[in-house]
Amino acid sequence: MILRGAAPLAISLRDWWMPPNAAAHGVAVDRLMRWDVAAMSACFLLANLFLVWLFLRPRRKSSAPSPWRAEFIPLGLLIVLYIVMAATAEHVWARERFEGAVPAALRIEVVGQQFQWYFHYPGIDAAYGQSRPQLISAALGNPIGLDPADRHGKDDIVSSELVLPVNREVDLQLRSLDVIHGLFVPEMRLKQNAVPGASLHVHFTPIREGIYPILCSQVCGSGHARMQAHTRVVSLTVYNAWLATHAKRVGQ
Ligand SMILES: [Cu+2]
């Protein structure tokens, strides 16, 4: 019985932390997470020890607790901690969003729709075809409403899986067709909302081949829990073969 109970406990302890990192910027994110969790755990522990001490300390009849010891000093320490954390924080979140990707980055449009992710590759001409809401029809094989009259859309690929070549920077452009969705790829340390009416960018570099789950991190409706996809990080050769296969399908 003990052994049977110990195995799930070991699994849950192992899974308590984040999954192994597979993105270049993930090292900095993990370092920041470890530091934040350690700092917050220390604050939690100290605050509770202080409370216990207040209960157990010998009481003097006339003395009220000093506001300096109970309020001002802890507040001052918190302010110092906050300033240190802000000054030493990795600026990785802003770097992935506010600084542009390198010109050679692979551009992919991510479209969220209740309850599906679509990944729109611009094709050989590197230009996205026009999308029109009135042309959206998943049943007719046009889930993001690509305009067949637009020549830029002729070579475009729309996929339900995100296939990426390893060690090449990817510039994702996110939009939503209905409500707010959240693109969440835990192994890529990537979480970014897709907002209706907005086109939001985030860029990153996958560094490990493999298949990683993609989730929706915003409760976007009754099918939110099944709004899942996966990203497949492959070698450049496999990626080019995948592109060629899909380009052929478009040409047929
Ligand atoms: Cu969603």
Do residues 217 and 191 make contact, with C-beta atoms less than 8 angstroms apart?
yes
How does DSSP assign 40-96, residue by residue? HHHHHHHHHHHHHHHHHSPPPSSPPPPHIIIIIHHHHHHHHHHHHHHHH---HHHHT
pLDDT of 14 higher than 70: no
Answer with the residue of higher pLDDT: 126 or 236.
236
3-state secondary structure at position 186: helix
196 CA → ligand 1 middle, Å: 12
β-bridge partners, 110: 119, 174
pLDDT of 173 higher than 70: yes
99 CA → ligand 1 middle, Å: 26
pLDDT at 124: 82
pLDDT at 192: 94
Residues in contact with 64: Cβ distance below 8 Å, sequence separation at least 6, in sequence order = none
pLDDT at 101: 87
Q: How far is 149 from 20, CA to CA, in rounded Å?
A: 44
pLDDT band (50, 70, 90) for residue 12: low
222 CA → ligand 1 middle, Å: 10
Q: How far is 195 from 16, CA to CA, in rounded Å?
A: 30
176 CA → ligand 1 middle, Å: 9
pLDDT tens-place string over residues 59-84: 766 666 677 777 888 889 889 988 88
pLDDT > 90: percent of the chain: 47
pLDDT band (50, 70, 90) for residue 252: very low
Q: How far is 7 from 3, CA to CA, in rounded Å?
A: 6
62 CA → ligand 1 middle, Å: 60
53 CA → ligand 1 middle, Å: 47
Q: How far is 57 from 69, CA to CA, in rounded Å?
A: 14
The residue-averaged pLDDT of 113-120 equals 94
β-bridge partners, 148: none
Query: Cα dist. 114→138, 146, 157, 176, 231 in Å?
Result: 12, 18, 20, 9, 19
